Amino acid sequence: MDHPRRNFLQKLVASAAVVPLLSPYRALAQADRASTGSHQGKTLRVALMGLGSYAARVAEAMQSCKRAKVAGLISGTPSKLQEWGTKFGVPEKNRYDYENFDRIKNDPDIDAVYIITPNALHRDQAIRVAKAGKHVICEKPMAVNAKEGQDMVDACADAGVKLLVGYRMHFEPKTLEVIRMRKAGDFGSISFFQGLCGFRIGDPDQWRLNKALAGGGSLMDIGIYAINGARYMVGEDPVWVTAQQTKTDPVKFKEGVDETIQFQLGFPSGAVASCLSTYQMNHLDRFFMTGEQGFAELQPATGYGPIEGRTHKGELTQPHAMHQTIQMDEMAGILLDGNTPVVPVDGEEGLKDLKIIDAIYAACGTGRKQELRLG
């Protein structure tokens, strides 16, 4: 159990660091809402499912949210329900386990469930949440293949709830500035994107190295940032992919768990991307894009920040804010007000990445170029 004083100090330091940095973003967001008149003042009440390391980060970040709050907890570990319930002020009646969470249907205090469990559990959990009539926010990868992703999209459509994927980079200010510049034509026509994503993974017994829970290896976990990033940086959906896999440690990275994959994407405009996904190398978190008239570089590109970057016009200077704080406030706007984000975060967006992941694995297996129809 964490030391309560250390928690308090961490919270104090985190909020002191975040508040002044957030203010320019918030000022913009508030001005935007004031101009559209869309802010109803409602708060998105979120139940977190799977109280692991990333959920802890999300829960802390949500303490600084203006429009979203932790209102429920779903866990298989009773001691976490107790500890987190006390820490985040979630009453016992809004705490659930994996057997009884369908009862959330009758819980008027919950608007959405944020699924932050191992990848292979997402599909069934999302379908149960949808059937309970609550909006679904699901961590990446949305599922372990496109078929399961489609099941989730269909279940949410049938239930009349929204499905969002935890693509926090879609709200990150420097990333959005590069996207704005690309749309404004500052780079000219885009010719090339490079995405390098990886880290050396530790404990060989963790679920990320278990195919049954992870659905794959590095590509599912970290390579997806390069796939998704290629799409939002270039601003197109790829039409073909080729891929090659290498494995230096077949004991740690068992059958179906990829260690290192290089893949190449081709876009309708003729732009190409070259990407690396790995669990075996450190210091890989870099996006580079070049066009006829300029370039953009983000490094780190997808870590928790601060993101750093530059273009041919100079350094990117947008202020850092906790990604998950911005994400959850923006998701509140999407779910409660029907706002449209600059880069989509819906189930169709998650499904596109899963179709590319399926094709990358097929390309590794066959050695052949795979045509993509993401439509």
Residues labelled as active-site residues: 140, 225
Binds ligand NDP (CB under 6 A): choice among 221, 259, 330, 358: 221
Contact positions with ligand NDP (CB under 6 A) in 38-77 = 50-55, 75-77
Cβ-based nearer residue to ligand NDP, 156 or 181:
156
**Closer residue to ligand NDP in complex, CB, 63/191:** 63
Query: What residue has token string 């052949």?
Result: 368
Site residues for ligand NDP, 249-278, by CB under 6 A, read: none
Residue whose CB is less far from ligand NDP, 64 or 119: 119
**Other beta carbons within 10 Å of 157:** 13
Rounded to whole angstroms, the Cα distance separating 96 from 134 reads 15
Closest CA to 235 of 284, 172, 289, 196: 289
- In the complex, least distance from residue 56 CB atom to ligand NDP, rounded to whole angstroms: 8
Q: Output 112 or 271, the one with its CB closest to ligand NDP.
A: 112
Half-sphere exposure of residue 252: CA atoms within 13 angstroms, side-chain side? 15
Q: Report, in Å, the least distance between residue 367 CB and ligand NDP.
A: 28
Q: 45 CB contacts (<8 Å, ≥6 apart)?
A: 68, 69, 71, 72, 109, 110, 111, 112
Could you tell me the two tokens for 320?
A: 């850092």
The residue (of 119 and 260) whose beta carbon lies closer to ligand NDP is: 119
- Rounded to a whole number of angstroms, the minimum distance from the CB of residue 66 to ligand NDP is 21
Nearest to 155 by CA among 130, 122, 125: 130
Select the span of 113-121, 129-137, 143-151, 266-274 touching ligand NDP (CB under 6 A).
113-121
139 is a contact residue toward ligand NDP (CB under 6 A) = yes
Of 55 and 234, the one with the shorter C-beta distance to ligand NDP is: 55
Indicate the residue whose CB is closest to ligand NDP. Answer: 52
Among 80, 128, 134, 170, binds ligand NDP (CB under 6 A): 80
What is the contact mask toward ligand NDP in residues 168 to 207, using x (rule: CB under 6 A)? Answer: x--------------------------------------x
- How far is Cα of residue 162 from the mean position of the Cα atoms in its chain? 16
The encoded tokens of residue 197 equal: 């994503």
Q: Is residue 264 a contact partner of residue 219, using CB atoms and an 8 Å limit?
A: no
Give the binding-site size for ligand NDP (rule: CB under 6 A). Answer: 22
Of these, 45, 67, 128, 140, which contacts ligand NDP (CB under 6 A)? 140
Residue 366 to residue 361: CA distance in whole angstroms: 9
3-state SS class at 142: coil
Tell me the helices (H) and strands (E) count for the chain, helix number first.
11, 15
Count of residues making up the chain: 375
* Cβ atoms of 45 and 71 closer than 8 Å: yes
Q: DSSP state, 46?
A: E
- Shortest gap between Cβ of 120 and ligand NDP (angstroms)? 9
Build a one-symbol-per-residue string for 290-329: x at contacts with ligand NDP by CB under 6 A, - elsewhere: ----------------------------------------
Residues forming contacts to ligand NDP in the complex (CB under 6 A) are 50-55, 75-77, 80, 116-119, 121, 139-140, 166, 168, 207, 213, 221
